[in-house]
Structures are given as C-alpha cells and as structure tokens.
Amino acid sequence: MKKILLFALLVLFSIANAQITAPLPNNEASVLQPYINQYQSDKNMLNRKYALKQSDEYYLRMERFYSDWQQQLKSLPFVKLSQNEKIDYILLKRDIGADARNLQTAFKEFKDDKFLLPFAVLVTDFEQKRRVGKQQDGTATTAIFEQLKSQLTALKSSVEKKNMNVTAVQAKWAQQAVAQYAATFTEAYKFYDGYDPQFTKATKNAYPEVLAAFKEYSEALAKIEKQAGFTDDGTDIVGNPIGRAGLIDGLKDEMIAYTPEQLTAIAQREFAWCDAEMAKATREMGFGKDWRAALEKVKTAYPPLGKQPELVYELANEAINFVEQNKLITVPILAKEGWRMRMLTPKEQLFAPFFLGGESVLIAYPHEDMSEEAKMMTLRGNNRHFSRAVVFHELIPGHNLQYFMQSRYKPYRRAFSTPFWTEGWSLYWEMLLWDNNFAKTPEDKIGMLFWRMHRCARIIFSTKYHLGEWTPKQCIDFLVERVGFERANAEAEVRRSFTGNYGPLYQIGYMLGGLQFRALHKELVQSGKMNNIAFHDKILKENCMPVEMVRALLTNQALTENFSTKWKFAGEVK
C-alpha cells in the first residue's frame, strides 16, 4: 500500500511540474551551435594560456587562431543551412572577423607604445620557462631580476624627468600593461619560490625589489596621466577616442546602416520629440515654459532615507502587473519570483549614479560614507518619478526577464551579445509603455522623458567624443545643460562611458536598439501580422543578436553568406 501511495504521489508531482521539466519549445538545435561553443572555448583557453596580452607572442598566436577559424568556417555549406542556422553562420563569421580586426588595432597600438615596455623580453622569457616547468638557476635568475629592476628604475626616472614624450592615453595604456607584467612576474616567481631551494635562496632579496620597481614605475605613469589629462579640460577622465573609421567599423559589425553623422541627426530628431512632450508636461504641472523648474520639482519627490528599497519593490510589481494586464508579454512565474535587490556602494556610484540591473536590481542611494552634497545629488537623481521610469528597464520586462530567458532558450547565442539588443530592448519598453499610457501624471511623464532625453544625449556626446570633436568636460556640460543632470551624476555618466570598460558603441546602443525594435514592432505588430505577446516572446526565445538578425528571423528574410544590412529603421537621414 505504501509503495502504491508513493507511486501516486510521484505521478502527481511529475504532472504538477511538467511545465518545468518538459523540453522547452522553439529551442531547436543548430548545426552551428558546436562551432559557436568551440570558438568561444578555444578563444578563452588561449587567453588563459597566454597571460601576457601585451606581447608579440600573444598577438602572433591569436592572429593564427583567427585565420584558422576563418578558413574552417568557409568549409560549411551555407546554402544548405536552415534560416536559423544561416543567422548563426553570419553572426559567427562576423564575430571572428571583428575579433581579428580588433586584434590588429590592438597590435598596432602595442607596436607604437612598446617603447614603454623595454623590460618585456625579460619577463616573457621568465614566464615561458615557467610555463613548461623548466628549472631556472637561482644565481642567473637573480642577475636577470637586477637587470629588470634597473630597467624599471631608469624608466621611472625618464618619465619623471620628461625625457620621453608620453601622452595621457599612452600612460594609461602602459599602466595596464605594467600591471599585467607585474602580475605575470609574481605568478611565475611563486611557481618556484619555496619549491626549488637554490632558486628560493638566491632570489629572495631581489624579488621584492623588482615588485617595488614595478610599482614605482606605474605610479610615475599615473602622475603623467593625471597631469596631462586627455584634452587638458580639467577632468580626470582619460578615454581613448576611436575616430570615424573605428566608429564605422563598429557600426558595420552591429549591422547599423547609418554614418556617425546620421546617428547624431537621428538623436536630434528624437530630442525634438522629447522637447515637445516635455513642454506639454511642464504646462500640465503649471510651470508654463520653464521645463527646468518642472524638472527641479520632480527631483524633490524622493522617498525618506531608508525607504527607497520599498519603493523599488512597489514599482517593480506595478510594471509586471501593467504588462500582464495589457497583454504585452508572457512573464514566467519563476521570473517574477527570482529577481533580487542590492545597494550600490559609494565607490560603485562614482561610475553608476543611477540604477543598474540584470539578475538583481542595483540601487543607487545615499550611504553614510558619502558627502552631504553627494547624498543629495543621489536622492535627487533617483527620485520617485525617475525610478518609476527605470525600474522596469532593469527588471521586468527589461534586463531581468532578458537574462531569465537567455539561460533557457538557445543559450549558445549569448556569445552574440550586443548592447543594441540588450539595452535596446529595455529602452524599447520605455517607448512602448509610454505609448500604452504607463505614465499616470505629468511628473511621471517628465521622469520618463528625462531618461529618453538622456539616451538621445548619449548618442550625441559619445559620437562627438569618439570623432574627437568634444572633450569629456563638454560631454558633462551637455548632460547638465541639455538634459538637466545633476553635475556629479553627469560626471559619473561620462566617466562610465569612456573609462568603465564599455565598448565605444555601448551608450548609443540604447536609443538606436530601441528604435530598431520599435520599427520592427510597427512592421509586424501594428500591421496585424503578429500580436504583442507572440512578437515579444519570440524575440526573447531567439536570444541576443543584432536586431537586424532578429528581423531576418521574424520576416524570413533572404540571406546570403556575405550579408550586410541596408535596413533604414529610422528612415532616411541626411
């Protein structure tokens, strides 16, 4: 009887959980999947193997790697692939080509700046011997260490006396390279230290002296960077503008069929729409034509200290209920349960003055270690109406839902991650929720418009910076004067954009990706070919890729092996 009851319970449990354990639909396999996985794994393995990235050895090895993969891909019969597989082929080919081109750009920079690393051969030789486990004579190694220390000391002196012409960008690059060489030197030394008596005894005094020399040289470079500044504009923001050719190459990789100048024109057009809507909301609030006064009023609507997390939870659930009630997208039950919150540290808020999100929503809010001025700017920059317009961007239906679906549907496509899909999707929802009257009050409208203006501004200041037309300070001033940023928040935004390990096109991906999804929604949903739920669910189940490839999938667009986009999703622009 007990066995029968146990069996019955197991059957009921399996039925109740069928939706969890059953194979996921729309998750068909692709013959390209093993190639995509192998390419990423091979690349990651080589990057682990060759620790010294700023070395001839690394660049020459990766050149051969990319060349081998380009040849391997040519052997696949493109015309015999399914539409789904053709998408994967095109994207893998694009990734290999972009990686190879970026390697050449970095290799050129290395060749131009390696005069700052004359000691490289000594560390490289030490590391190569360690890599194969070769025993190294302690006395001979000590002599090499002394030579290494001498070179680093001479470099420090030359930099301090300005005997070498070193720009701020070169100083920043060299600091990163020196840190890499110091870390590799330390790892190689510890491989032998204490395990080989003759090595340990001979080198124990010289080793810390070399580390100190590395540190002193790096500090001298840091002073050059700080004193020179990139444009001598009074900020401490040192980026590396990639120029017009770099922007065009990047746009081509992202399948954006516009020039940098046309992108600025698109942003100005979107700004004009924002200005008109901001004027309406300002009048509704009783401020006449003074949109700045209306914005200032909105900024004062922040919750009491300690109450922001409760507000975030309230706003998150409000957005989830809204998209479900309006039948815009399917929100899995576990997705609603699984998101979390944490607070951004004061240090993190120097780069991220507003919310961040994904698996968790990260809240920018005053901390006791911050100055009173910084606390107030954080409060004002994360007021109720700004927060209402951004929480759903970070959680559901934005990034949190994206990441939830990415791990469950065609996860191999996460290798094709792009801000035009990731950030564009969340920005698109800001547009769609506006169109569906998510804003209840004029204050809510201003909160939503602030972010939309912010994304217009990102296109303009990022493009102009990388074209060499604006300095970081001009970018900061633009955010303050044109969008209404708090100055500290504007500085953090620009610092994040140019020094926060984001790609040069990352910040323009928000608005442009949003406009791409918006154009696709008009083409497929507003035309009656799909409903909202089918459209949005399909996009998430195909996982991330350039939005042009999403369009190719949803419209069954004819594709060629050498595909290049001509999609004018924002219309013709001069």
Q: What is the 3-state secondary structure (H, E, C) of 220-237?
A: HHHHHHHHHCCCCCCCCC
**Per-residue pLDDT at 240:** 83
Backbone phi and psi for residue 552, each to the nearest 5 degrees, phi listed first: -60, -40
3-state SS assignment for residue 357: strand
Looking at the structure, tell me whether residues 298 and 175 fall in a common domain: no
Looking at the structure, tell me whether residues 104 and 145 fall in a common domain: no
Looking at the structure, tell me whether residues 307 and 284 fall in a common domain: yes
C-alpha dist (Å) from residue 436 to 319, 433, 439, 444 = 12, 5, 9, 13
Structure tokens at 561: 């092996």
Looking at the structure, tell me whether residues 181 and 65 fall in a common domain: no
Would residue 477 count as lying in a domain?
A: yes
Closest CA to 543 of 419, 412, 394: 412
Would residue 239 count as lying in a domain?
A: no
Distance CA 21, CA 192 (A): 50
pTM of the model: 0.87
Structure tokens at 468: 């060499």
Would residue 85 count as lying in a domain?
A: yes
3-state SS assignment for residue 362: strand
Last residue of a domain, one of 92, 113, 134: 113
Looking at the structure, tell me whether residues 340 and 431 fall in a common domain: yes
Looking at the structure, tell me whether residues 466 and 521 fall in a common domain: yes
Residue-number span of the structural domain to which 194 is assigned: 117-228
**Per-residue pLDDT at 228:** 54
Q: Which residue matches tokens 């399909």?
A: 538
Distance CA 103, CA 112 (A): 14
**Per-residue pLDDT at 14:** 41
Distance CA 39, CA 270 (A): 39
Last residue of a domain, one of 228, 257, 287: 228
Vertex 427 angle, CA 357 and 517, to 5°: 130
Distance CA 523, CA 555 (A): 9
Looking at the structure, tell me whether residues 163 and 201 fall in a common domain: yes
Would residue 298 count as lying in a domain?
A: yes
Closest CA to 395 of 464, 341, 456, 467: 341
Looking at the structure, tell me whether residues 304 and 394 fall in a common domain: yes
Structure tokens at 95: 């990734």
Query: Partners of 343 in the beta sheet?
Result: 363
Distance CA 510, CA 460 (A): 12
Looking at the structure, tell me whether residues 301 and 190 fall in a common domain: no
Would residue 103 count as lying in a domain?
A: yes
Would residue 134 count as lying in a domain?
A: yes
State the chain's maximal CA–CA distance in angstroms.
91
Domain count, the chain: 3
C-alpha dist (Å) from residue 269 to 110, 233, 250 = 40, 29, 23
Note down pLDDT in tens along the chain; length 574 residues: 444 444 443 434 343 343 433 344 456 679 999 999 999 999 999 999 999 999 999 999 999 999 999 999 999 999 999 999 999 999 999 999 999 999 999 999 999 999 999 999 999 999 999 999 999 999 999 999 999 999 999 999 999 988 988 988 899 999 999 999 999 999 999 999 999 999 999 999 999 999 999 999 999 999 887 765 444 567 778 788 899 999 999 999 999 999 999 999 999 999 999 999 999 999 999 999 999 999 999 988 888 887 788 888 898 899 999 999 999 999 999 999 988 887 777 777 766 666 676 777 777 777 778 787 777 777 777 788 888 888 899 899 999 999 999 999 999 999 999 999 999 999 999 999 999 999 999 999 999 999 999 999 999 999 999 999 999 999 999 999 999 888 888 888 898 888 877 889 999 999 999 999 999 999 999 999 999 999 999 999 999 999 999 999 999 999 999 999 999 999 988 7
Would residue 262 count as lying in a domain?
A: yes
Looking at the structure, tell me whether residues 139 and 195 fall in a common domain: yes
Distance CA 408, CA 405 (A): 5
Last residue of a domain, one of 113, 142, 167: 113
C-alpha dist (Å) from residue 151 to 111, 129, 320 = 19, 21, 61
Looking at the structure, tell me whether residues 222 and 322 fall in a common domain: no
Distance CA 515, CA 292 (A): 27
- Is residue 513 packed enough to be buried (19+ CB in 10 Å), middle (13-18) or exposed (0-12)? buried
Beta strand pairing status for 360-363 and 340-343? parallel
User: Is 394 within 8 Å of 487 (Cβ atoms)?
Assistant: no
Distance CA 307, CA 304 (A): 6
Q: Which residue matches tokens 């003759």?
A: 198
Would residue 19 count as lying in a domain?
A: no
Backbone phi and psi for residue 363, each to the nearest 5 degrees, phi listed first: -100, 125
Looking at the structure, tell me whether residues 369 and 512 fall in a common domain: yes
Q: Which residue matches tokens 């193997």?
A: 49
